[in-house]
Structure formats: structure tokens, C-alpha cells
Amino acid sequence: MKLHLARSDNQNTFTGYGEGYVMVNAVRYERSLVVLPDQPVAAWTVAGVDTLREEDLEFLASLGAEIVLLGTGASLRFPHPRLLQSLSRARVGVEVMDTRAACRTYNILVAEGRKIAAALIL
């Protein structure tokens, strides 16, 4: 599916997604990644929700975002609550959703000027 956003001020936005991939600014990614509006797209070594480690979430807490959207792949899967404690301690909100929903939500929040990060498991 292609996504369209009315805003174009050189910020990272999702421009498409499908089975096993997402597109950021028309560039296709097939591995897990972290996307912030104003920073280069970063690879994320997480292979699945079951392999998430505290260090992975501590990294997300250090990004300076107000909200982290955790995209858990093709279906919604919640990580163990103890893993989310570093985000809570850093006063960073976290929303867990499937990866496609995370892409759509990210674009909306970027358009609102929010400090958002999308951490997507592909």
C-alpha cells in the first residue's frame, strides 16, 4: 500500500508498506529499523518480539522522543512489561501496534509536529 502525506518539509515519513517491507521517503527497507522525523533511518537488530532485550528498549528511551511506536510485525504482540520499564523511567510514552498501524500513526503524529520515533520489527 502506498501512503500519501500532504506535508513535505524534508522529514522522514512512511510512503508505503507491504508484506515484509516498509518504505521511508520512497526507499524500501526489509529489516527492522528505527525512524525519527529528522534523523537518518537507523537499522535495528531486533528480529522479533520474543528476542527483544532491555538494551533494545533503553536505546529507544535515549532517542529524545515523546512517544515510541513499537511496530511488532504483521500482528500485534506485546513485549513483556518489564522490558518497557526503561521507557517509563525516561518518561517516554510507548504504543504497541502492528507495523502497518505504526507506519500510519507515525505519519499522523509527524504531521502534527510531535517528537515521535517508530521502532519497527520486520
Given a cut of 80, whether residue 76 has pLDDT beyond it is yes
Given a cut of 60, whether residue 1 has pLDDT beyond it is no
Lowest mean pLDDT among 3-12, 19-28, 38-47: 3-12
Distance CA 16, CA 2 (A): 4
Q: What is the residue extent of each domain of the chain?
A: 14-120
What is the reported pTM? 0.91
Distance CA 119, CA 50 (A): 15
Backbone angles phi, psi at 118, to 5 degrees: -115, 120
Which CATH topology does 14-120 take? Hypothetical Protein Mth938; Chain: A, (3.40.1230)
Q: Residue 110: pLDDT band by 50, 70, 90 thresholds?
A: very high
